[in-house]
């Protein structure tokens, strides 16, 4: 993925001079070209205003101006908590600080090797609700069903959610359930969809009341896990066409996804929950989700 796709793309002569590394966006708002502020509550002059993007770099804080903003920051940095019903278990934050709870996908063969001592005693817990954890020599985990576990390390697989804090000065229209753009929410809700049943969508579906602002990629799906790279390529192509003034190209959205079923949940019937997970994976990244995967595709409801 990195050597065959990301690195060659970043080295492309059209992109290389304008890609900045080590820049972390902390806030996005709007200002008029003359510099006057246009916060979230100000409607006058909003249409003609620019975006102001605040960035942290190794050399300090910078504000940069732009005509459009596409937020492709993913959801990796904001995993769901281990606690039940979307909030942390009592003691969870302290347990993380103390090193008892890892990041969602640690690297046991690499950077996180030290934390994974040789231990054959691994317990896989599914569908459990953690009510509280207590840091001690080991981590004491109280489950909501009354069970009590003593563990050395917890590796959570609790999913992700979007970090919307940098965007609070923008006018966003979000689905109340998954925190995706409102029109996209019903197309991706993992109670009813897997990655492979997400409908092709582009600029119109991803638009917010804030003109020229878009969230794409994994973050566009909000809390839903139903995103594949191929979906993102088509999102970005459509938005780029719109920003370049080509409405027709922006509206011509095409996407063929493998029906993997791996991103669905068992909370409701998923029409594509039974096909082979082996059909997804790297292929959707390196082949852009087209051609080679079509043969493996079955359409929803036709099985
Ligand atoms: C375990 C797992 C396996 C997956 N496997 C597949 C698969 O096989 N095939 C597939 O198609 N999809 C897969 N996906 C889904 C999805 O395609 C990937 O999550 C993909 O990496 C999402 O791409 P992205 O560009 O939206 O986000 P990311 O890959 O997360 O990239 C976001 C980037 O933004 C940066 N960033 C974050 N915050 C800021 C900020 N404030 N300022 C500046 N930069 C910031 C991050 O450092 C990161 O480099 C998988 C997802 C997971 C979790």
Most confident of 130-144, 243-257, 266-280: 130-144
> 61 with 178, same domain?
no
230 CA → ligand 1 middle, Å = 12
Residues 248 and 175 in one domain: yes
- Alpha-carbon distance of 87 to 90, in angstroms, equals 9
* In a shared domain, residues 50 and 128: no
Mark whether 231 and 289 lie in a shared domain: yes
Q: What is the DSSP string of 31-54?
A: E-TTS-EE-TT--TT-TTPEEEEE
Nearest CA to ligand 1 atom 50: 228
Which residue's C-alpha comes closest to atom 27 of ligand 1? 74
Residue 121 has pLDDT above 90, yes or no: no
Query: What's the distance, Cα to Cα, between the start and end of the chain in Å?
Result: 32
**Domain-terminating residue out of 106, 131, 151:** 151
Instruction: Flag whether pLDDT at 140 surpasses 90.
Output: yes
Domain that holds residue 135: 84-151
CB 16, CB 7: distance < 8 Å: no
Mean pLDDT of 276-286: 37
Who wins on pLDDT, 256 or 17?
17
What is the 8-class DSSP label of residue 3? Answer: I
Ligand 1 site-directed mutation target among 1, 55, 70, 73, most atoms within 8 Å of CB: 73
Is the confidence at residue 278, as pLDDT, over 90?
Answer: no
CA atoms of 146 and 130, how far apart (whole Å): 10
Q: Say if residue 246 is in the same domain as residue 288.
A: yes
Residue 291 or residue 139, greater confidence: 139
Whether the pLDDT of residue 1 is over 90: the answer is: no
Q: Span 163-186, mean pLDDT?
A: 95
Task: Report the DSSP beta bridge partners of residue 242.
Answer: none
- Position 156 in a domain: no
Residue 255 is predicted with a pLDDT of 79
Triad 208, 63, 26: Cα angle to 5°: 60
Note whether 169 and 290 are same-domain residues. Answer: yes
Same domain, 200 and 130: no
pLDDT tens digits along 44-71: 889 899 999 999 999 999 999 999 999 9
Q: Which segments of the chain are extended strands (E)? A: 24-31, 37-38, 50-57, 60-66, 69-71, 130-135, 139-143, 148-151, 213-215
Complete DSSP assignment for 227-296: --HHHHHHHHHHHHHHHTT-HHHHH----------TT--SSS--TTTTS-GGGSSHHHHHSTT-GGGGGG
pLDDT at 259: 60
pLDDT score of 272:
39
Q: Which of 61, 158, 218 to mutate to test the pocket of ligand 1 (most atoms within 8 A of CB)?
A: 218
| Average pLDDT for 275-281 | 36
Q: Are residues 19 and 142 in the same domain?
A: no
Atom of ligand 1 nearest to the CA of 218: 26
Predicted confidence (pLDDT) at residue 110 exceeds the cutoff of 90: no
The residues facing 133 across adjacent strands are 141
Structural domain contains residue 303: no
Residue 89 clears pLDDT 70, i.e. is over it: yes
146 pLDDT exceeds 80? yes
**Shared domain check, 247 and 196:** yes
**Is 41 a domain residue?**
yes
Count up the domains in the chain and report the number. 3
User: In a 3-state reduction of DSSP, which class is residue 180?
Assistant: coil
Residue 165: both structure tokens together: 């804090």
Q: pLDDT-based confidence at 120, cuts 50/70/90?
A: low
Between CA 218 and CA 76 the distance in angstroms is 9
Q: Give the pocket of ligand 1 (CB within 6 Å).
A: 24-25, 72-74, 76-77, 105, 217-218, 227-229, 232, 280-282, 284-285
Q: What is the pLDDT of residue 118?
A: 66
């Amino acid at each position: 993925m990195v050597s065959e796709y990301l690195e060659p793309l970043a080295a492309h002569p059209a992109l290389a001079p304008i890609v900045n590394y080590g820049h972390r966006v902390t806030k996005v708002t709007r200002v008029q070209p003359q510099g006057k502020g246009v916060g979230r509550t100000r409607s006058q002059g909003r249409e003609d205003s620019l975006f102001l993007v605040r960035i942290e770099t190794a050399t300090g804080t910078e504000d940069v101006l732009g005509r459009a903003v596409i937020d492709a920051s993913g959801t990796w940095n904001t995993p769901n908590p281990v606690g039940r019903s979307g909030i942390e278990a009592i003691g969870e934050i302290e347990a993380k600080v103390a090193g008892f709870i890892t990041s969602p996908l640690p690297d046991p063969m690499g950077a996180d090797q030290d934390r994974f001592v040789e231990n054959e005693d691994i317990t896989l817990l599914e569908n459990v609700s953690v009510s509280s954890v207590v840091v001690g020599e080991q981590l004491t985990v109280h489950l909501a069903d009354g069970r009590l576990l003593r563990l050395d390390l917890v590796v959570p697989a609790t999913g992700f959610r979007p970090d919307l804090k940098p965007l609070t000065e923008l006018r966003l229209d979000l689905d109340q359930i998954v925190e995706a753009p409102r029109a996209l929410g019903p197309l991706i809700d993992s109670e009813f969809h897997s990655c492979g049943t997400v409908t092709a969508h582009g600029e119109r579906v991803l638009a917010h009341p804030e003109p020229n602002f878009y969230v794409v990629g994994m973050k566009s799906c909000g809390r839903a896990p139903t995103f594949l790279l191929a979906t993102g390529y088509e999102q970005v192509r459509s938005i780029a066409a719109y920003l370049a003034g080509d409405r027709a190209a922006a509206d011509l959205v095409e996407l063929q996804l493998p029906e993997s079923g791996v991103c669905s949940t068992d909370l409701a019937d998923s029409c594509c929950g039974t096909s082979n997970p082996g059909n997804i994976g790297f292929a959707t990244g390196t082949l852009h989700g087209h051609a080679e995967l079509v043969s493996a595709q079955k359409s929803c409801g036709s099985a």
